[in-house]
Every structure is written in structure tokens, then in C-alpha cells.
Amino acid sequence: MKIKYDLLKKEAHSEARLGLIHTNYGTFETPMFMPVGTQATVKTLSVEELKACHCGIILANTYHLWLKPGEDIIDEAGGLHKFMNWDGPILTDSGGFQVFSLAKRKDITEEGVKFKNQYNGDNLLLTPEKSIQIQNKLDSDIAMSFDECIGYPATYEYCKQSVERTLRWAKRGRDAFNNPRQSLFGIVQGGEYEDLRRHCVEELTKMDFDGYSIGGTSVGEDKETQYKMVRYATKYLPKDKVRYLMGVGDPIDIVENVINGVDIFDCVSPTRLARHGHALTKYGKINLKNAKYKRDFSPISEECDCYACKNYTKAYIKHLINCDETLGARLLSIHNIRYLIHLTEELRDAIKEDRILEYREEFIKNYYGENYEYKKY
């Protein structure tokens, strides 16, 4: 079954949307934050812990799973859901971002991208067709087209050429797609240029993808540029299809881009922050390595319903982090993922009540402090 998107409500004072996404492995509400399970696991967490965080969907990484253990092994196991024992929805990315960001030496051609295997140095070629074939075997609920991820800054001419290549690759991937249980998303590129974003959207919609991703953000741009890029895409995207913003997980970016009309977000930040001792809270990010938490026997957040906050104190988690105990990163990962998912729950409530702009004001005041001068873009 292809995914089905129900647009339940548009917020009265913004582009924010309340929706439902139906998949073969369950239904979830949007807006939704999606934890990243790069190697078919969200770092240090079990699937039971993810469910306890109210996780609606997770992301797995095509590039890494292609290299280890290989798509054939996962196919033999019965697909990614069975391989990792996750019975909820899964989205796989195309592998494009990892090739462009991780491969130190790469050669972009019309055929695809040539690069060296980071594990053994073998020469590899990832094409639009190969990316789709891998994802078809992984059998995720949602697959991504293979695109050229444009860095920032980039000239207009480079972005124009890159968009045309992304569109040609999207068509090739669409033609190669062969899994009736899966849905395929096109990826909108175009850098910071509205006419290129609009052109990319218009050409992708002619190919009639099942949903659309907004790419080329979180590549070094400032917040004003990011929000502009997103608006340049959502402004032209079809209202009846899902919008997914790739690689964005800063809380304020989630708030602003929900207002801009985005439905799904993903980012590695909650687990990466956890591994460095950082916790996300209603009142901002805190660093539990700080000495002031040594005798703090309160939870990370009194308001949080996650396993870590219900059972452990800042002082204990600080001790674990200082001793480099895995449990510390695990507890903080649980908390940070739950925080971001709860943030999207609050945003859904604000959309229902047509008070998303008021919610943004409250969020900024709590997260950054009363005296913080936040510039709205």
C-alpha cells in the first residue's frame, strides 16, 4: 500500500498543517519529529524505548546499510522492519547527502557519483537507479529520490545546473522504482533562489511523487536563509502531499518550519547532543558536564514524562557522562528524542487551537529567556 496523507486542518494564521499519514505499518500524526536510525538502529536505543518516546516513524540510512551489511542481507531477513524488529513506519533516505558529505573524494557525473568505500577503499558508483534498487530491497515505507545535495553558499549558475541534474536523476529513479508497497518522494533543491526552487517543485510535481522532501538545508546556511529556502518550496508544493524537511532538528527550526508548512523533520542532533552530555529542555539546552549539577538530585525536567526523567536525577546522569558510561548517553538520548517528539505534540495542539504564533512567542520566551531579542524571519 502507498502511504495516504490526510490534511486535517490548516492553521488560521500561518501555513502550519495538522495531518495524518497512513502506512502499511501504522498511522501517525503530523507535524512529527523522526529519529535517525543510521545503521538500522537509533544509537544506543531499543525499539521498545523508541515506542515509549511516542515515536511515529524512524529514518534509516541507505548509504550506510548498502555498505554494511548490504541490501541483500536485509532483503533475505524479510526487509528492514523484520531485520531491526521495528513494526512502525520507516523512511529511508537516498544516500545522496552521505555521499556528498562523507566521501572525501568523489566525482559527480551524469551517470551518478563515483567515490571510495569509507571502510575498505573500494571504488563505488551510486546512481539514481542503484539508490532506488537498494531502497526497494530495504522495503521501507517511504523511499527518497537520489539528488545532488547543494552546499551553501553556491552560485546561481551552479544551483541551476544542479537542479537540472537532480530532476533528470529524479526521472531515472522514478522509472526504476519497483516496489508496490513503497512510496517514493521527490527532493526539492535550488539553494537560496526562489525561481530555482519553484522550477524544481513544478517539474517534480509533473512526475507525481507520493510526497516531497525539501533538501539543501542544514548545509551551513544561517537561519534566515534556511527559513527562506523552506518557504520557497512550501509556497509551491501541492497541498495534498506530505512535506518533509531533511536534516533539521534545532527546536526553534522545527517551530519556525512548522509555521512554514512542513510536516516531518529528522536530525541526528538529539542523540549526538546526548553523547556530549547535553539535554534539551523547555528552558533551553543544558550541559550536564557542568559542575553545578553535581548535587542536583532533580530530574532533567520536572515536566517531562520520559523514562530518564521519571527514574533518574541530573547528578546521576552527570556521573555517568563523566565516567563515560554508555547508560548516560542512552538516558539523555531517550530524553532528547522524547523532548522533540513532545515539541511536535505541542505544535499539533497549537494548530488545532489556531494559536501557533502565540505558541512561538511562549516557546522563545521559555527556551531563550525573557530578555532574549529573537529576530523573526
CATH number, domain of 163, equals: 3.20.20.105
Domain with 319 in it:
275-368
Same domain, 143 and 74: yes
Classify residue 135 by its DSSP letter.
H
- Percent of residues, the chain, with pLDDT higher than 90: 91
Same domain, 311 and 180: no
Q: 40 lies in a domain?
A: yes
- Percent of residues, the chain, with pLDDT higher than 70: 99
What pLDDT is recorded for position 141?
A: 98
Same domain, 179 and 235: yes
Same domain, 138 and 258: yes
Q: 376 lies in a domain?
A: no
Task: Name the pLDDT band for 255 (thresholds 50, 70, 90).
Answer: very high
Same domain, 255 and 322: no
Query: Does residue 104 have a pLDDT over 70?
Result: no
* Residue 367: closest CA among 251, 272, 226: 251
Same domain, 88 and 177: yes
Q: Alpha-carbon distance 84 to 79, whole Å?
A: 9
Q: 374 lies in a domain?
A: no
Q: 176 lies in a domain?
A: yes
Give 188's strand partners.
214
Residues in the chain: 377
* Mean pLDDT estimate for the chain: 96
The C-alpha cell at 102 is 562523507
Q: 377 lies in a domain?
A: no
Contact indicator for 299, 310 with CB cutoff of 8 Å: yes
Task: Name the pLDDT band for 180 (thresholds 50, 70, 90).
Answer: very high
Find the mean pLDDT for residues 103-109.
79
Same domain, 44 and 168: yes
What pLDDT is recorded for position 103?
A: 65
pLDDT in tens, 218-246: 999 999 999 999 999 999 999 999 999 99
pTM over 0.75: yes
pLDDT in tens, 20-79: 999 999 999 999 999 999 999 999 999 999 999 999 999 999 999 999 999 999 999 999
Contact indicator for 132, 170 with CB cutoff of 8 Å: no
Residue that finishes a domain, picked among 268, 292, 320: 268
Same domain, 119 and 200: yes
Residue that finishes a domain, picked among 268, 303, 322: 268
* Residue 193: closest CA among 241, 158, 144, 244: 158
Same domain, 136 and 84: yes
Residue that finishes a domain, picked among 245, 268, 291: 268
Count of structural domains, the chain = 2
Instruction: List C-alpha distances in Å: 36 to 1, 26, 270.
Output: 23, 18, 9
Torsional class of 369: left (φ above 0), alpha (ψ -120 to 50), beta (otherwise): left
Q: 103 lies in a domain?
A: yes
Classify residue 254 by its DSSP letter.
H
| Radius of gyration, CA atoms only, the chain | 20
Q: Which residue has the cell 494548530?
A: 351
Could you give the residue numbers annotated as active site? 93, 266
Find the mean pLDDT for residues 350-374.
94
Q: 23 lies in a domain?
A: yes
Same domain, 100 and 243: yes
Q: 10 lies in a domain?
A: yes
Ramachandran angles phi, psi of 7, nearest 5°? -85, 110
Query: Does residue 126 have a pLDDT over 90?
Result: yes
What pLDDT is recorded for position 1?
A: 85
Q: 292-301, 305-314, 362-371: which range is least confident on average?
A: 362-371
Same domain, 192 and 282: no
Same domain, 192 and 316: no
Task: List % helix, strand, coil for the chain (3-state, nearest 5).
Answer: 40, 20, 40
